[in-house]
Amino acid sequence: MGGGLCSSAYDCILWNPLTLERISLPQVNAEISFSILTCHPSEPDCKVLLFASGIPSILYCELGNKEWITLNYHDELRRSLQEEEIVEDNLILYNPVCCNGNLYAVLVPSRWDSKLHIVKIHDIQPDSLKIESLNVFLPVVPPLGATKRIYLMESCGDLFTVEIQYKDQILTGVLAIEIHRLNFSNKEWLKVDSAKDRAFFLPPGVEQADAAVSSPASNSDIANRVYFTLFDNNNLYSYNIEDGTVSISSIFLNLPRVYEPSSPIWLMPDLRFTNTLKEAKDKSNTEQEGGGKVCGKENDIKEDVEDIGDTNELFLSDLPFDMVKVIAERLILVDYLHFRATCKIFHYAAPSIQWRIALQMRVESPSLLSPWLVFFEKQSVCTFIDPKHGEKYHINLPQELKGGCIICGSQDGWLLVAVGEKSTFFFNPFTQVIIPLAELNGHETRSFSCIGFSSSPTSSECVVVEFDKRMCLESGDDKFGVESCRMREDHWNMNFFDDADFSFNDNSAVFYRGAFYCLGKKGNLGLLKLNDEEEDTWEVLTQPKSPCLSGYHKNFLVECDGELLSVFVGCLGKWVQVFKLNESKMTWIRVESLGNYMLYLSCSSSLAVMAKTPGMENKIYFPIFCGESMVFFSLETKKFHSFESKDVAIDFYSSREKLRCGWIEPRWC
């Protein structure tokens, strides 16, 4: 609306910083959590609503009134919940939002594992109000980090939720962002994969849910993004909704820290906007290949020769068919698939690949000799990117995994995938084989900060562990839980261990010499041993000490050639350091070169592989992009590069980081 509510201990005004117009309001003698206007201040029936902090009360007044009217909504809210047979003790409303003339708010349940639901507030009178439970729960996204915030907001007449998951409680990094839109007709939340006509802005303060706003945006450089800040720097970050990457939009040297008493808020000018943008249709070519569908790149050439111009048509008809076959035989796998999709002649010259015997191509297909980046797109497609060539292709997900799943780990060509709140599967995307694990126990919901598995799920010895960051509710002590499940077991085993000054840093656990090792946020090592005959044990090792005392943003643990390596990444990629564990002395030794090995690092999976393709060795690959090329760190130059930029160094201000992804080694058997 172009303005905001400003208040001190007693005085309260509406202020438009663009026109400097002020509207005085009655003094406020209560602590306020949220504030909202029912409509623009120029409207005759505009009301100002203040939601009291910690008590079920709303203060409201119409413009020109001399005092606030206090309405207690406790009994009315309880009545509306009882009609829907909802039992709830905590009767405090949060995050009010106006949408299409209606006022909505969020009821946060008293149980931490219960769902948040939306109520509608209407018929606000001096002595009463009405609350209607919509029986609509906020969408559930399995928690990945230590802290998450969910914002309810209006945008262009629609109701949206934006959920952001942070890697820690002090908001120094982001693991995932998801947006949903409410379909009012069937009360269903729809995941938003693209929002090309609008942008979302999240407040710096964690308690400023009512300060989250959305704005129409026709500029493609601004639209289709979520903007946010982090605790430990002065950068403005943007999340691209369509490609799932985070980049640094701007640097504000005078941006206040989020912990300061008066955090900044977003202020949207009063705009009138008509949505005329239409989302482009996906024109990817699709062909059936064995277990899954493989789709060409977005800009692939159409299949039919008739669709190609006259010049190219003559060239293709002049090219000997045997020569076309020879060309096809020399292509790497991804190029081979795109080659087949180009036209009918190439389609006939390049026979369909039998996925189960594709490993025979490994000698002649360099792209199969290194891991690929893997992530899920639009809830139904598994996407791969070859880090060397930048080629991208897709495989359709089987029905069991459609509807939203998260990559939790990777090993030997298998992905460990979480689906919903309780289901876990092993999935080989190349063979389409799915191996289910037991459902999580009882009412437990997934909330892990570190996960790992010991071996390929085809082995009877395979065991999966999830390190749960939650509090031990029964004792009230700071503890974390470890859930473990072996193949063919029908349940998960739960153990609780003392926190012992160990903070998980959202990286993957490594199974090494019969135990699971975790690298903590402080650079210390935690060791989990699962014992068949005795109780499982957890130990935070006093040695080795962290090789980096401060200044790093991320760290990773990976096994390389039978040894444990730790990798520390400085803030904004200013430096990268690699260390090897000397087990005899229990100290970290600095590694200056990886030799012929290469590392692939991400939050969900980290791999070490010997390079078979010249030019890929002695490098560390990250799920970071500069343009369309993947970024790597060279231990030779001590700088970030990409194959596209060659010798030109890259900084994080010109790159994009992919969230919710992992690395996988292609395996068809």
Q: What is the mean pLDDT of residues 615-630?
A: 93
pLDDT higher at 512 or 137? 512
pLDDT band, residue 363 (cuts 50/70/90): very low
pLDDT higher at 17 or 522? 522
**pLDDT exceeds cutoff 70 at 272:** no
**pLDDT exceeds cutoff 80 at 63:** yes
* 8-state DSSP, 439: P
* Cis bond upstream, residue 429 (ω within 30): no
Q: Which range has highest mean pLDDT (109-118, 209-218, 589-598)? A: 589-598
Extended strands (E) in 561-618: 563-570, 576-582, 587-591, 597-600, 607-610
- Say which range, 187-201, 293-307, 420-434, 654-668, has the weakest mean pLDDT: 293-307
| CA distance linking residue 516 with residue 509, whole number of Å | 6
| φ, ψ of residue 552 in degrees (nearest 5) | -105, 150
| CA distance linking residue 593 with residue 556, whole number of Å | 17
What six digits make up the tokens of 613?
A: 């393709």
| CA distance linking residue 365 with residue 356, whole number of Å | 15
pLDDT of residue 431: 84
pLDDT of residue 129: 94
What is 180-235 written as a DSSP string? EEEETTTTEEEE-S--TTEEEE--SSTT-GGG-EEEE---TTTSSEEEEE-TTSSE
> If you search the block for the tokens 């905590």, which residue do you land on?
90
Q: Which H or E run includes 338?
A: helix 333-340
- Round the average pLDDT of the chain to a whole number and report it: 82
In the β-sheet with 515-519, what is the strand arrangement from edge to edge? 510-512, 515-519, 525-529, 537-540
pLDDT of residue 1: 55
pLDDT of residue 372: 93
**pLDDT exceeds cutoff 80 at 157:** yes
Q: What is the mean pLDDT of residues 63-70?
A: 93
Q: Which of 250, 251, 255, 279 minimizes the C-alpha distance to 265? A: 255
What residues have CB less than 8 Å from 630, skipping those under 6 apart? 373, 385, 387, 390, 621, 622, 623, 624, 642, 643
pLDDT of residue 247: 94
Q: What is the mean pLDDT of residues 417-423?
A: 83
pLDDT of residue 402: 82
**CB 585 within 8 Å of CB 545:** no
pLDDT higher at 42 or 73? 73
For residue range 88-122, list pLDDT tens digits in order: 777 899 999 999 989 999 998 766 556 788 999 99
- Say which range, 30-44, 133-147, 514-528, has the weakest mean pLDDT: 133-147
What is 467-483 written as a DSSP string? EE-S--TTT-S-EEEEE
pLDDT band, residue 534 (cuts 50/70/90): confident
Cα atoms in the Cβ-side hemisphere of radius 13 Å centred on 534: 3
pLDDT higher at 647 or 156? 156
Q: What is the mean pLDDT of residues 451-464?
A: 94
* Most distant CA pair in the chain, distance: 90
Q: Which of 228, 214, 113, 116 minimizes the C-alpha distance to 166? A: 228
pLDDT of residue 619: 97
Q: Where in the chain is the domain with CATH 2.120.10?
A: 366-664
- CATH number for 366-664 (one of 3.30.60, 2.120.10, 1.10.1740, 3.40.190): it is 2.120.10
pLDDT band, residue 369 (cuts 50/70/90): low
pLDDT of residue 408: 92
- Say which range, 75-84, 288-297, 625-634, has the weakest mean pLDDT: 288-297
**CB 378 within 8 Å of CB 631:** no
Query: Would you mind telling me the total number of residues written for the chain in this entry?
Result: 669
The SS3 call for residue 399 is helix
Q: CA Rg, the chain, in Å? A: 27
- Say which range, 247-256, 552-561, 612-621, has the weakest mean pLDDT: 247-256
The SS3 call for residue 357 is helix
- Say which range, 226-235, 252-261, 589-598, has the weakest mean pLDDT: 252-261
**CB 152 within 8 Å of CB 118:** yes
Burial of 351 (0-12, 13-18, 19+ CB in 10 A): exposed
pLDDT higher at 254 or 452? 452
The SS3 call for residue 178 is strand
pLDDT band, residue 306 (cuts 50/70/90): very low
| CA distance linking residue 195 with residue 238, whole number of Å | 14
pLDDT of residue 204: 77
pLDDT band, residue 537 (cuts 50/70/90): very high
End-to-end CA distance of the chain: 59
Residue/partner pairs of 459-466 with CB below 8 Å, 24 or more apart: 459/487, 460/487, 460/488, 461/487, 462/486, 462/487, 463/487, 463/530, 464/416, 464/424, 464/437, 465/509, 465/516, 465/528, 465/530
Q: What is the mean pLDDT of residues 252-278?
A: 57
**pLDDT exceeds cutoff 90 at 8:** no
> If you search the block for the tokens 């003559």, which residue do you land on?
314
Q: Which range has highest mean pLDDT (146-160, 482-496, 512-526, 652-666)? A: 512-526
pLDDT band, residue 498 (cuts 50/70/90): confident
pLDDT band, residue 299 (cuts 50/70/90): very low
pLDDT of residue 190: 93
pLDDT band, residue 209 (cuts 50/70/90): low
For residue range 160-184, list pLDDT tens digits in order: 999 998 887 778 889 899 999 999 9
**pLDDT exceeds cutoff 50 at 283:** no
Q: What is the mean pLDDT of residues 603-609?
A: 95
Q: What is the mean pLDDT of residues 390-396?
A: 83
pLDDT higher at 16 or 252? 16
Q: What is the mean pLDDT of residues 68-85?
A: 90
| CA distance linking residue 164 with residue 215, whole number of Å | 18
